[in-house]
Homo-oligomer: A and B are copies of this chain.
């Protein structure tokens, strides 16, 4: 096995699972997080060891846990960004003066456009052009058990990955495939963007269970209880809008439950049973407030992006618009107008669909 140096940026469950998995495979792993979140990692600074339990087990010794981004990133082969979409721009700004052209940034998950947002921010700030790749979904299903223990429930079985430009995808994949065997090449970052199921599922389940969210104190099961026949019907109709959008961009996307089946989450492929009964979806407690990232992140940074793409491509998305409208009302914000991660912040503003395709394939418009 190649010995690789990998910087993991982020401090949540996903970052810890990835760090532990790669360290246990022999990589030199370093961790860093944004100053406002770093306290979650301070206990690992003195003794940088993570315990992995679940499908991957062991004591993972990390090379370094530090709040100094430059030390963590220096000479790393891969810089893995494992955070909410809302943090991507800030991390990209912090990386701009540090990252070199021969490094690779992997945004895991891309959360519908992470690679594009990184590229746009870096492009504005540095001449270095590292390869930037994103995954369609997080590579690990996991949760934090304690300060030092992360439970890895599953290595996700089918994770689409694309680099920007797409011509670099195979090179990135060749380096990572042995470490993360679930990775599969996507045509480009438009495909990874459109293979993110979160904006299809999370806001819909939240809104159609608003009363439950706010009455529950968090004592409810997001999938087993949140999915009922009408909830599944709305998710299915919204997913059909996503698939139509993909078709307009030349992509034959799998329906979300089919994707969940292939990823190992579920044992059915219909929209109700896949989520309500899928083993990978069991026992995941639901939020206790509508200010949860299932709304703030998945509408602001992904559903709104799909809506903007729909407009450019001439694909009607009335259910997406309705969900975004109700989410905006609940949050007392206008997510559509804010366009927190709209086409402009992804560097895709004012492009035709054809120009977008050239951009993601070649890294430039024309």
Question: Residues of A at under 8 Å CB distance from B?
Answer: 205, 207-215, 225-231, 233-234, 237, 290, 318-319, 321-323, 325-326, 329-330, 332
What is the oligomeric copy number?
A: 2
Tell me the complex Cα distance, A290–B232, Å: 13
A14 to chain B, nearest CB (A): 27
Interchain nearest-CB distance for A261 vs B (Å): 23
Q: Does B225 contact A215, Cβ atoms closer than 8 Å?
A: yes
Q: Which 3 A-B pairs have the closest CB atoms?
A: A214-B228, A322-B322, A208-B210
The one of B211, B225, B229, B325 that contacts A208, using a Cβ cutoff of 8 Å: B211
A-B contact pairs, 22 of them (CB 8 A): A207-B207, A208-B211, A210-B228, A210-B230, A210-B231, A210-B234, A211-B226, A211-B227, A211-B231, A212-B212, A214-B230, A215-B225, A215-B228, A230-B330, A233-B329, A233-B332, A234-B329, A234-B330, A319-B326, A321-B325, A322-B326, A326-B326
Bound together, the chains give a CA A330 to CA B210 distance in angstroms of 16
Q: Is the interface of A mostly helix, strand, loop or mixed?
A: helix
A318–B226 Cα gap in the complex (Å)? 26
With A208-B207, A208-B208, A209-B209 already in contact, the answer to whether A230 and B321 are too (CB < 8 A) is no
Contact B233 A211 (CB under 8 A): no
B212, A229: Cβ atoms closer than 8 Å = no
- In whole angstroms, what is the CA distance A230 to B332 when docked? 10
Nearest CB on B from A273, distance (A): 14
Q: Which residue of B lies closest to A224 (CB)?
A: B215
Q: Given A321-B325, A322-B326, A329-B319, are A211 and B225 neighbors across the interface (CB < 8 Å)?
A: yes
A337 nearest CB across to chain B (Å): 11
Chain B, residue nearest A236 (CB): B329
C-alpha gap A215/B209 in the complex (Å):
11
A21 to B226 Cα, complex, angstroms:
44
Q: For the complex, what is the distance from the CA of A325 to the CA of B233, rounded to whole Å?
A: 13
- Which B residue sits closest to A211, measured CB to CB? B209
Q: How far is the CA of A130 from the CA of B122 in the complex (A)?
A: 75
